[in-house]
Structure 1
């Protein structure tokens, strides 16, 4: 009997060592969510196996019963961690705090009954004895509760995996099916041990793990459990820069990524927190959006830890067999929103400036102009004419200032504009005696733009050519690149055959106030640059084919 007990103990201990051999693999992949529950499961099996081996080696009833109690603990831990492993791998159930708490409470209750059994015999009957070092248990009510609940837990995990295998495809299906198969040998061996079908006083249940180990090898290396488990979404979600929070049907947090925890300063035990607590000071704004419907696309803002944030928020429903909920994604748009607000403030200041220029400067100028006209008969022409010319120049400068104030404002609405017609119309607005205009745009060439501001671009580029060259000038306009089938182009050019712009000065020509003409304001090309940039386009200058200046506008949006 002693030799037999030692042989069985050696086999049981070997089963424990085989189980522990999987621990290193689990720990080396600890970043994967399934690794922790898998590691706990193999440790529980090892504890169960070593404790059973100890019952066959110890001398004396106290030590044998203590080892037996530890073996029961290993069995309970194996059942609990198996369920957690199945839930972690599954795509339709989630491990929650109450699940872990319930399993832990069951284990503590059973262990309390077991270790206090000599005072009440609710777990093992008084008839329990020893055959040498081997415990010969006579089961009482507590044991059958332990066995019933334990098997229910294992079968629940098995059911989760079977359903996962039936409702998924590809690698996910193979992974779930193999894991479900892995626990079957343990269930069979446990049933044989409890029913005394083996006709031996030994519990060989952990030896079922020797068969299970082979299945685990297939799961790990063919099913890639620790490579993609439990759903690659969790790994991907953890790497996202957006805050991602999963809520259940009662709007309690069941999952979130690191970005969300750091943003809302939440601890690792966030599971179960109400959304109203998790999202802090912006919770009311976020939760109120849920009333709009199952799918939400909106923006929310608020202060978090003293910093103002703006988010693009999306919320989509999720449904499983046992639960419903939603996934909330918060994309930080604070930088974009602040730029937008700053641009609005800038536009408001420009409008205020335009109003001041229009009213406070133009009105006194009109008074002076009126008085000059009344006094022309009494003022010599050589005095009146220069005064009139300068008043007219001041009027032009005021118009230029107003145009500049509005040029850089954001383009709110665009329309399809035929470039050939716009270029012709802008040319007709100017007095161009002796100048020649060549229009190389096709009739159908079109661009998305704000028409009036596009006309200002052409007008100011034409005027720039006149102001810096002789009147006998040729101005040519046309497209850049090949036109699309819809008539869109990559850009367009305005070129002249004048003196051109020195290469050293080309970076300065768009600066406000820069001019080489004696009567120029230096605002024209600044207007052009601001209007071009307000459309989201680019402008640069180079030599034309004839040696004059050639302005190229690129980055155009073709009209739809």
Structure 2
């Protein structure tokens, strides 16, 4: 038996615990208005109301002077307690970005189950399915509750639904790659009263009443206390499937989701540290005018539009959510348009300059031939027309080669090179290929043959009619080379020779190597102009990794 003073102290401790839980919940209510997300704010507000009401009902149950009032307050607590499951699930669904809390079918199902449980609780004096109450004097005067089977069924359902909410939160924390310790700390606080519930049913040393209201109150207050720190950052980071990084007002990383971690592995060491130190490229996009971030992947380059959305607490800005929207297709289309516009400008320049010269020659010579009745003036006219025809043909070729390639096939490079050589009027020039070389690539045969023809013509044009050309595989990379023993290409010109219109020959169009470059780009290969061992020009073409050489 406890002494009178010990009994009073224990009674005071029980009343204080429930009263403190109720007051903490009600005191936190004004803070919920600072939560910007409507459904999250609404769910947490009513979770605090029901948790505080549940704990307050237990205070009435312990302090009321008559058995009838104690019974009434206990039943009120049971009703408000089971009602708290609704706001709890509403909060968890809203916080984690789900919409299940707005589904009418789910709401109606919950309402039916809630009313059924409430009906059993309220009518308990008739059937005693839920509990049996009797007055007790030890360890102090109170209304002793002996729970029946329906109580444990209802408790099991309530804790199962609570677990669903915990799973929603845990899944969100894991998805955004966030520290789950704050969540488990709150779950631990909630679990302590559950232990007391079980102990009350098994041991006479612990009052057999429901302690869960204290645990739920602790969770609700804890979430709100942490909301403007860890919990708010996690919600912001998890509200989109795009890569997202959350920083605080000082520019330190607070959270990020897994999509962001895939793009920026350095984020794993950046929590609570400046973003600028670990992902400077992303930080620069926040301060600069350029919002597009280019990221090279294993297979392709992707483009992201970087946007920053501030979020506030009580009207004061507390951080930013940085969202990276994938705009790869848009950027690729924009770059394609820019490339086409550049070509249009090149063609306009050619039409206005390169074509104008032979056209003026043809016009002037034709006028002289008519005026003087001298057909000798028509020979330059024929040459001018041939020149214009060549320019027009190569401009059309250049335009066609800029189009991307949809279908490719395995091509024997050596066989195609010999076929291209057969189309060239090479004079005394010769082509040397090692017959033992077995070299294949995945390519468009017609365009690859055009590439060889243009490179062969370029070599003859600059190396002379007796130039010797060689074709073979690259030694340390996937691809092949074409080289000659001519005079070579000066270092200063090697970056310019692939530009349309660039030529050093008097009768050159400047399109041959530009067409070669377009064919290489269309295959997503790389080309480099360098020097052959003989001192002549060497073009190295690096192809895809699936190239084979036997």
User: 2:82 — aligned with what?
Assistant: 79
CA distance in 2: counterparts of 1:190 and 1:103, whole angstroms = 29
Map of 2:209 onto structure 1 = 205
CA shift in 2, pair 1:332/1:51, >3 Å = closer
Q: Deviations over 1:217-265 (max 9, x none)?
A: xxxxxxxxxxxx9xxx99996452189xxxxxxxxxxxxx9x9xxxxxx
**Retained in 1: the 8 A contact 2:432–2:469?**
yes
Counterpart of 1:10? 12
Task: Return the match for 1:513 from 498, 501, 513.
Answer: 501
Map residues 95-106 of structure 1 onto 2, 5 A cutoff.
96-97=101-102
Say if 1:498 and 1:396 are closer, same or farther in 2 by CA, change over 3 A. same
Q: Which residue number in structure 2 is paired with residue 391 of structure 1?
A: 385
SS of residue in 2 equivalent to 1:432: coil
Structure 2 residue 530 is matched with structure 1 residue 537: no
Deviations 1:494-539 (A, max 9, x none): 1122222222222221111111101111111111111111111122
User: Which of residues 318, 322, 329 in structure 2 aligns to 1:336?
Assistant: 329
Do 2:451 and 2:515's aligned partners in 1 also have CA atoms closer than 8 Å? yes
Query: Structure 1 residues 239 and 526 mapped into 2: Cα distance closer, same or farther (>3 Å)?
Result: same
Q: Tell me the secondary structure at the aligned position of residue 96 of structure 1.
A: helix
Q: Secondary structure at the match of 2:517?
A: helix
Closer, same or farther: CA 8–455 of 1 in aligned 2, 3 Å: same
Counterpart for residue 292 of structure 2: none
Residues 70, 54 of structure 1: CA spacing in aligned structure 2 closer, same or farther, 3 A cutoff? closer
Instruction: Describe the superposition over 1:66-91 as per-residue Cα deviations: whole angstroms up to 9, x where unpaired.
Output: x87555444444434468879969xx
Query: Which ranges in structure 2 are unaligned for 5 or more consecutive residues?
Result: 26-30, 166-173, 175-183, 220-230, 245-256, 260-323
Tell me, what secondary structure is at the counterpart of 1:546? coil
Q: Retained in 1: the 8 A contact 2:61–2:73?
A: no
C-alpha spacing 1:95/1:391, structure 2 compared with 1 (3 Å) = closer
String of CA shifts for 1:361-414, please: whole Å, max 9, x gaps: 9xxx9xx9xxx9xx9xx9989645444433333332232122122111121211
Q: Paired residue for 1:429?
A: 423
Q: Distance in 1 between matches of 2:86 and 2:152?
A: 11
Taking a change above 3 Å as real, the CA distance of residues 391 and 431 of structure 1, as seen in their structure-2 partners, is same
Task: Within 5 Å, give how 1:442-457 maps onto structure 2.
Answer: 442-457=436-451
Residue in 1 aligned with 2:227?
none
User: Matched residue of 1:501: which SS?
Assistant: coil
Let me know the Cα RMSD of the aligned residues.
6.5
Q: Which residue of 1 aligns with 2:456?
A: 462
Cα displacement (A) at 1:422: 1.0
CA distance in 2, matches of 1:107, 1:3: 42
Write the distance in 2 (CA, Å) between the matches of 1:384 and 1:397.
Answer: 20
Q: Does the Cα contact within 8 Å between 2:194 and 2:211 map onto a contact in 1?
A: no
Cα distance change, pair 402–539 in 1 and its aligned pair in 2 (3 A): same
- Shift in Å, 1:109: 11
Q: The residue matched to 2:387 in structure 1 has which SS?
A: helix
CA separation in 1, counterparts of 2:10 and 2:211? 10
Corresponding position of 2:157? 156
Structure 1 CA distance for aligned equivalents of residues 325 and 84 of structure 2: 38
Find the aligned partners of 1:48 and 1:405 in 2 and give their Cα distance: 77
Distance 1:503 1:340, change over 3 A: same
> Equivalent residues in 2 for 1:188-227 (5 A)?
204-206=208-210
- Aligned partner of 2:407 in structure 1 is 413
Q: Tell me, what secondary structure is at the counterpart of 1:10?
A: helix
Deviation of 1:13 after TM superposition, in Å, equals: 3.9
Q: Superposed, which structure 2 residues align to 1:264-343 within 5 Å?
A: 335-336=328-329, 339=332
Which residue in the other structure is 1:303 paired with? none
**Structure 1 residue 479 corresponds to structure 2 residue 467:** no
Is the 1:441–1:477 Cα contact (8 Å) retained in structure 2?
Answer: no
Shift of 1:470: 2.3
Counterpart CA distance in 1 for 2:60 and 2:10 is 10
CA contact (8 A) 2:471 2:483 kept: yes
Q: Does 1:527 align with 2:502?
A: no
Partner of 1:322: none
For residues 518 and 188 of structure 1, the distance between their equivalents in structure 2, rounded to whole angstroms, comes to 99
Q: TM-score, normalised by structure 1?
A: 0.51
Over 3 Å counting, the alpha-carbon distance change for 1:52 and 1:503 in structure 2 is same
> Structure 1, residues 449-473: CA drift from partner, whole Å, max 9, x if none?
1101101111111111111222221
Instruction: Give the total of aligned pairs.
Output: 393
TM-score of the aligned structures, taking structure 2 as reference length? 0.52
Contact 2:46/2:87 (8 A) holds in 1: no
Contact 2:88–2:162, Cα closer than 8 Å, also in 1: no
Residues 129, 454 of structure 1: alpha-carbon distance in 2 compared, 3 angstrom cutoff:
closer
